[in-house]
Chains A and B, each alone.
Chain A
Amino acid sequence: MNSTLHPSERITQTSSPIARFSWAMADAWTITCRDLTHWRLRPGAVIVGWIFPVMIVLMFGLLFGGAIRVPNGGNYFEFLMPGMFATTMLFGLETTMIAVTTDASKGVTDRFRSLPMSASAVVLGRCIADLLNSIVGLALLIGTGLLLGWRWHAGMSAALAAVGLLLLLRFALLWIGIFFGLIAKGPESVTSVQILVWPISFLSNVFVNPSTMPSWLGAMAQWNPLSATTSAIRYLFRNPGWQAGSWISEHAVLMALVWPILLIAIFLPLSVRTYRRLNR
């Protein structure tokens, strides 16, 4: 009846840095599997999350597309898709925030924190799961784009580089989502972020040319990390884009690397630190 397991029967008792690291990775993977199991048992929200960008593409492409002049002419989807890929990475922010906030408001987080597991494993596990989710979502959207006539024109390696930049942006936004998810007071406050996501995606070069905006807004739109990634992947896919001629649009690929790396450098340590000091 009283079967017990003594602490010494744990596999690890060692505390060498390498062993600590490999256990942190193992813990993170355990958390990833937990998050994936959540989606398998309750697939509704994930599927909606995948379908939503597809609907947006259809909405813009079929409803607004006829009224928008494509730079240098051509198929509207050729122009629209790269922007939609980048925007979809931004939409992922909400999913992450909701998941993190919901988790933090539940007792299960207290148990994670009272276990001798790696403190960063919970946030890292969430990060891996969300990244896998985004890969599926992105694949679906790429498939949709191909069906609608969008193509890449610079070969497979440039296309893969573009996908890499998109996932790098998603990875950076993930840590923003985790950080704000941890400091949010509850699932309700996530709603405000959902509202903010829209102006951020419109205040960019995704849908319109920033040079048509008032100059100060146009400058903000050009410096938007979303614009950097969008310009970079338009270039890598050889899809039509705006020729603004400014420094930032000349160095789009560089900025599509610098922005996410800068965001990761800020928000990854902040998230881990906030998680460690979490107290409800």
Chain B
Amino acid sequence: MESRALAIAAHGVRKHYAGAKAGTGLNGFDLEVQSGTVCGLLGPNGAGKTTAVKILSTLLELDDGQACVAGFDVTTQARQVREHIGLVGQYAAVDEILTGRQNLVMFARLNHLSGHQAELRADALLEQFALTEAGKTPVSTFSGGMRRRLDLAASLIVSPSVLFVDEPTTGLDPAGRREVWTAIRSLVGAGTTVLLTTQYLEEADQLAHRICMLKEGRVIAEGTPDSLKSALGGDWLDIVLRPGVETATVAQIVKPVACGDIRIDTQINRISVPVTDRTRSLITVATALSEAGIEPEDLALRRPTLDEVFLHLTGSAEAENALEVAL
């Protein structure tokens, strides 16, 4: 039995697919998620995110290894696991033909609430997710954001200890994405553990306490968003130059403060300098530029983005392509 403080504990999980899905399985997947936290599982398409969620939510059997959710083994205690989890899939897992309310009542009945209790619960959830009016119409008339919200509501009929949220905003417009983010944030307050998979780095950055980066079916890096960013060598100083100023010249001027390779984007005339000492390097660069008679268009310090962390860690052109598709 795994420690109770861990809501999810997976060790050496393997899952091999044959045929068209080959390569999207898991290859020694390890994961530990503390109770009451949001863990973001991040990776390009085919990294094994969905496979991991399917195994942990008992939809798929693992080939090798061990996984416990809410203290129960997913293989030998699947039924108990199902009593403690909620699942929000990549696509809204609700009935299209039924109305929003009919969906919630049905899922409440299947969660073994009494008829009356099921109706009360459905109405409470519709209100909580601002769907009371929409709940009277068939789901097929819902917008993408409304469907995902209904989907979330359906996973919360009986408050799950662990909620799996698999790419909740894939295919949503920015407004729909914000709706879903707000809904997920409001859950975390109630003490639910959330495992969120996403290919959007911004989403993980926004929602997750800890981030696990997945590549080829295993976790290649793990930590808080900040620690992952720091791992890449602190901050970046971005200098955007006016047209006509030679980027190479400026690169020579700022070289003494750089703690790594300087990146030059000639298209937008931007020079990105990795720095360790935030304010001192800013002042040094500003003074040096001023002495050289160069007035930049923009000069700003920033943390590295998770994109940069991800590209740095995966380090392959393949991952870069996958991310471009994802972003």
A positions within 8 Å CB-CB of B? 1-7, 9-12, 23, 26-27, 30, 33-34, 37-38, 41-42, 106-117, 121, 277, 279
Contacts and interface: CB of A to CB of B under 8 A. Distances in A.
A33 B108 CA distance: 14
Contacts of A34: 95, 98, 102, 106
A114 B87 contact: yes
B93 A110 contact: yes
| Most B C-beta atoms less than 10 A away, residue of A5, A111, A121, A277 | A111
A112 B110 contact: yes
Interface majority SS on A: helix, strand, loop or mixed? helix
Contacts of B112: 10-12, 23, 26, 116-117
B190 A108 contact: no
A5 B121 contact: yes
Interface of B: 54, 57-61, 79, 82-87, 89-98, 102, 106-107, 109-114, 117, 121, 124-125, 128, 138, 154-161, 186-187, 189-190
A38 B161 CA distance: 32
A107 B98 CA distance: 14
A129 B142 CA distance: 27
Nearest to B79: A116
Contacts of B95: 34, 108
Contacts of B97: 37-38, 41-42
Given A34-B106, A107-B93, A113 B59 contact: yes
A110 B91 CA distance: 10
A112 B92 CA distance: 13
B124 A3 contact: yes
A41 B138 contact: yes
Nearest to B121: A5
Contact of B89 (A6, A37, A107): A107
| Most A C-beta atoms less than 10 A away, residue of B102, B109, B161 | B109
B154 A7 contact: no
Given A3-B124, A41-B97, A108-B95, A30 B58 contact: no
A3 B94 CA distance: 21
Contacts of A110: 59, 87, 89, 93
A5 B158 contact: yes
A26 B94 CA distance: 20
- A-B pairs, top 6 by smallest CB distance, nearest first, are A107-B93, A111-B93, A4-B159, A116-B82, A114-B87, A116-B83
Contacts of A279: 54, 59-60
Nearest to B161: A7
A6 B159 contact: yes
A115 B107 contact: yes
Contacts of B111: 10, 115-117
23 contacts: A1-B128, A2-B128, A3-B124, A5-B121, A5-B158, A5-B159, A7-B84, A9-B117, A10-B112, A30-B109, A33-B106, A106-B91, A106-B96, A107-B93, A107-B94, A108-B96, A110-B59, A110-B87, A111-B87, A111-B107, A114-B82, A114-B86, A116-B79
Contacts of A116: 79, 82-83, 111-112
Given A4-B159, A11-B112, A111 B89 contact: yes
Nearest to B164: A114
Given A2-B186, A30-B109, A111-B94, 8 more contacts: A2-B187, A5-B113, A9-B117, A11-B114, A108-B93, A108-B96, A116-B111, A277-B61
Given A110-B59, A111-B89, A11 B113 contact: yes
A30 B118 CA distance: 12
A138 B189 CA distance: 55
A107 B110 contact: no
A7 B87 contact: no
Contacts of A42: 97
Contacts of A26: 109, 112
A192 to B, nearest CB: 21
Nearest to B118: A30
Given A11-B114, A34-B95, A37-B98, A114 B189 contact: no
Nearest to B54: A279
Nearest to A117: B110
Given A111-B89, A111-B154, A7 B57 contact: no
B190 A2 contact: yes
Contacts of A108: 93-96
Contacts of B106: 30, 33-34
B158 A9 contact: yes
Contacts of B154: 111
Contacts of B91: 106-107
Contacts of B160: 7
Contacts of B82: 114-116
Contacts of A111: 87, 89, 93-94, 107, 154-155
